[in-house]
Every structure is written in C-alpha cells, then in structure tokens.
Amino acid sequence: MDRHRTVDDTPYGGGPGMVMKPEPFERALEAIRAEGDEVLVIMPTPQGEIFRQDIAEDLSRERRRLVFLCGRYEGIDDRVREEFVDREVSIGDYVLTGGELPAWL
C-alpha cells in the first residue's frame, strides 16, 4: 500500500489489467516473521504443481507456518513470486476470480 492507500497497479513491465503490488506482501510477510515464526509461502498459480494427496500430506506435516498468497485482478506482481514464494500449487485448469478457492482446499 502506498501513501494513497492503493495496493494495485499496472503490471511490472507494462501490459493490460491490474496486478497487486509487491510492497503489501513484503510488509505482511515481515510482520509474520517478526512474530518469530518460520514460514512456508505458497502461491496458488496455474503453472504450479498439481495439488494432490501427497502434497496435502506433505503440508500437513510441515512445521513452518503456512502462508497462502492469493491474487486478484490479473494476479500478483511477478516479483512477489520470484522473491517470496517457496512453493506454487495448482488445483487444475480452471479460470478463477482469485486464489481464495485453492487456498481453502
């Protein structure tokens, strides 16, 4: 969020649509880590590994705090994926309005 309290902008490098800026994600992750928790950052993406039972079992045994980054609009600025995301998962070939549904699964 900037001084105008916006969290979205045009995609980095140009292009149509709006994407969520990296700064709010960075601040949120810093706040979580400040609590002393180690985190595993997961982003639901179409190109991620298909979410299957074995992945669910792996995540259920995970000791780190699971943090799901869910996008809107055209998604999340790709710099977030490059810098903060540990794992990308996909629930399949679907067009969704955001990442909330995959995060619930």
d(C-alpha 29, C-alpha 67), whole Å:
9
Q: Domains of the chain (ranges plus CATH)?
A: 8-104 (3.40.1280.10)
Mean pLDDT by 10 residues, the chain (105 residues): 58 65 90 93 90 95 93 78 93 70 67
Cβ atoms of 78 and 12 within 8 Å: the answer is yes
Condensed to tens digits (0 to 9), the pLDDT of residues 33-60 reads: 999 989 999 998 888 999 999 999 999 9
Phi, psi of 23 (to 5 degrees): -60, -45
